[in-house]
Chains A and B, each alone.
Chain A
C-alpha cells in the first residue's frame, strides 16, 4: 500500500560528456599554457612578413653584434640585437618560426600517412601482413635516425624539401605502432561486441565507439611527432647539414652563433629558448590532450 507524498530521494545529476570535456580542457593548466604559447608562436610565424621590423636577410656589416635591448648599449631599432653579419635577430627569429613549423607539420603529415597506412593494414589483416609490417617497424627502429638523416642530407643537399622528406620517411614508426595496436584492439573489443549484440551496424560502431578512441591517440602522437621533427631539423641545421644559410633556421642560428657565445651568450640563448618554448608548448598540448581524453588513469 503506497501512501501519497513520500519524501523523494533526490537523484544525483552528473554533468554531460561535452560539459566534462570543456571543463577539463579549460582547467588543465598544462594544455592551456601550451595552447596559448603555441598560438602566439604560430601567430608570430604567420604574421612575420607584417610584424618583423627588418628584412631577415639584410646584412649591415657596420652594425654587427649589437647587444639586445636589455644591455646598456641596446637599441630599440634592434630589440634582440644583430648577429655577426648585422642581420636583425628579432626578424630572423620570427622567420625562423615559419621554417620550424613548416618542417614540423609537413614531416608529421608525411610520416603520419606512411605510419597510419602501415599500422592499419597490419592491425586489420593480421597474419603475414602484420608480421611484415612489424618487421619493417623493428628495422626502422634499429636505424640511428640522426646519423642516417645526416648522411643522406649531406649527400643530397640541404634544401627544405629534402629535409621534410627525409624526416618524414624516417619518423613514421610511432604512428604505425599506435595505429597497429589500436586497429588490433578494435577487432575483438568488448564494447564493439556488445554494440553488435544490441544490433548496431558496423559503421555506427566504427564511428561512435572506435574512431573517438583512435583519434585521441592519433592526435597525441601527431603533436609529439611535430615536436620530434622540429628537434631533428634543429639538430641537423646545427650540425651544418640541414637548412643552409642564409635561411633563418633556429638551429642554424645557434650554430652560427656558437663561436661568439662565450662573449655574447644571448646569441644562442635567444633562439634556443624560443625553440625550447615551441617544443614545450607542443608537448604540453599533446600531454594535455592525452590527459583530457583518457578514460582512466587521470589525476
Chain B
C-alpha cells in the first residue's frame, strides 16, 4: 500500500511540474505580455520598459524557472492591478470558492446517488425513465444559462433567494445548485450502471441466498461495491467544479477565485492569471491523487498491485 502511494505521489509531482510549465508557456506565448500589461495606447518605448521591468526580455526557460522557484515559496509576484502581492489577494478568496465547490458537490451527491440507486433497482420503469430524463436534460443545459434561469425564477419572480454577492449562507444556495447540477447526471449514471452491474453479480446472489434482508443486500453489499468508481468520479468532479466555478461566480458575483480569474484575464493581470491557473491545476493534481488513494482504500483488490 505504501509503495502504491509513493508511486502515485511521484507521478502527481511530475504532472504538477509539467502542468505548471505548460500553462506558463501557453500564457507567455499566447501574446506579448508586455504589450498586454502596457495597455493599448502605450508607445514602443513604454512597452520595452515594462518588458525589462518584469524580466520579460530574458529567455523563456529562465523566466519559467524564476517564476517556478518563487511560486514554490508562495511568492507569485505582485498584481499590477491591485498593486499588492498576488498571494494575499487569492488567499482571501480561496475559502469562498472552496465553500461553493463543497456545497455544489454535496448537492450533486444528495440528488444523484439516491436517484441512481432507485433507478437501478427498478430498471426500465417510470422511476428509471424519470431519473434518466432529468440527467439527460441536466447535461444539455449550459451552466451559465441554468444559473440565469435560476436567478430569474427564484431570485426575481419568487424572490426566495438572493442573487448576488456572497455574504450569507443563503447566497450560496442558487450558485451551488447551478454549479452542482451539471455533475449530477454523470454521478447518477455511474451509480446506476455500477449498481446494475453489481446487482447482477454472483456475490449478490450469494447474499440473497443467505437470506439477508433486501436493505442489507442493497446497501451493505451492492452499493459498497458500486460506489467505488463513483468516489473517484466525485474527486474529479470536485476539481471540475473548482475550474468551472469561474462562470457561476461571475454570474452570481461571488467573490471567489474564479471570479477573480475572470476579471484578471480581462485586465491582462498576468501574474494573477498565472497564479490562479497554477493553483487550480494543482488542486486537480492533488484531487486525482487522493481519488486514486481512495480507490485503493475502498477496493481491497487494488491494494495488492
Direct contact between A and B in the complex (CB less than 8 angstroms)? yes
Partner-contacting stretch, out of B132-140, B203-211, B224-232: B132-140
Tell me the smallest distance from the CB of A37 to a CB of chain B, in Å: 11
Partner-contacting stretch, out of A45-53, A67-75, A271-279: A271-279
Query: In this complex, what residue of B is CB-closest to A136?
Result: B18
Asked if A151 meets B196 with Cβ closer than 8 Å, knowing A139-B22, A254-B145, A284-B136, the reply is no
B97 interfacial contact with A, CB 8 Å: no
A99 interfacial contact with B, CB 8 Å: no
Interface bits A126-170 vs B (CB < 8 Å: 1, else 0):
000000000100110111111110111011100000000000000
Residues of B within 8 A of A279 (CB): 139-142
Secondary structure type dominating chain B contacts: helix
| Contact present for A156 and B30 (CB under 8 Å) | yes
| Contact present for B266 and A275 (CB under 8 Å) | no
| Contact present for A151 and B30 (CB under 8 Å) | yes
Secondary structure type dominating chain A contacts: helix
| Contact present for A262 and B156 (CB under 8 Å) | yes
Asked if A143 meets B23 with Cβ closer than 8 Å, knowing A151-B30, A280-B137, the reply is yes
Residues of B within 8 A of A284 (CB): 136
| Contact present for B136 and A275 (CB under 8 Å) | no
A82 interfacial contact with B, CB 8 Å: no
Interface bits B164-202 vs A (CB < 8 Å: 1, else 0):
000000000000000000000000000001001100000
Interface bits B4-48 vs A (CB < 8 Å: 1, else 0):
000000010011101100110011001100001000000000000
Partner-contacting stretch, out of A56-64, A176-184, A192-200, A233-241: A233-241
B99 interfacial contact with A, CB 8 Å: no
Which interface class (under 10, 10 to 19, 20 to 34, 35 or more) fits A? 35 or more
| Contact present for A141 and B144 (CB under 8 Å) | no
Q: How many A-B residue pairs have CB under 8 A?
A: 133
Q: How far is the CA of A254 from the CA of B146 in the complex (A)?
A: 12
| Contact present for B30 and A144 (CB under 8 Å) | no
Residues of B within 8 A of A141 (CB): 236, 284, 288
Q: How far is the CA of A138 from the CA of B8 in the complex (A)?
A: 12
Tell me the smallest distance from the CB of B140 to a CB of chain A, in Å: 4
Which residues of chain B from 232 to 247 have any CB-CB distance to chain A below 8 Å in the complex?
Answer: 236, 239, 242-244, 246-247
| Contact present for B277 and A147 (CB under 8 Å) | yes
Q: Pick the contact of B261: A147, A277, A280 (CB < 8 A).
A: A147
Q: How far is the CA of A269 from the CA of B149 in the complex (A)?
A: 8
Tell me the smallest distance from the CB of B237 to a CB of chain A, in Å: 12
A204 interfacial contact with B, CB 8 Å: no
| Contact present for B262 and A150 (CB under 8 Å) | yes
| Contact present for B148 and A142 (CB under 8 Å) | no
| Contact present for B136 and A142 (CB under 8 Å) | no
Tell me the smallest distance from the CB of B167 to a CB of chain A, in Å: 21
Which residues of chain A from 264 to 288 have any CB-CB distance to chain B below 8 Å in the complex?
Answer: 265, 268-269, 272, 275-277, 279-280, 283-284, 287
Shortest beta-carbon contacts, A-B, top 9: A144-B243, A280-B140, A155-B31, A155-B30, A272-B145, A142-B284, A279-B140, A144-B280, A276-B140
13 A-B pairs with CB atoms under 8 Å apart are A139-B15, A142-B285, A143-B23, A145-B243, A147-B261, A148-B277, A154-B268, A155-B36, A238-B142, A279-B140, A280-B136, A297-B193, A297-B196
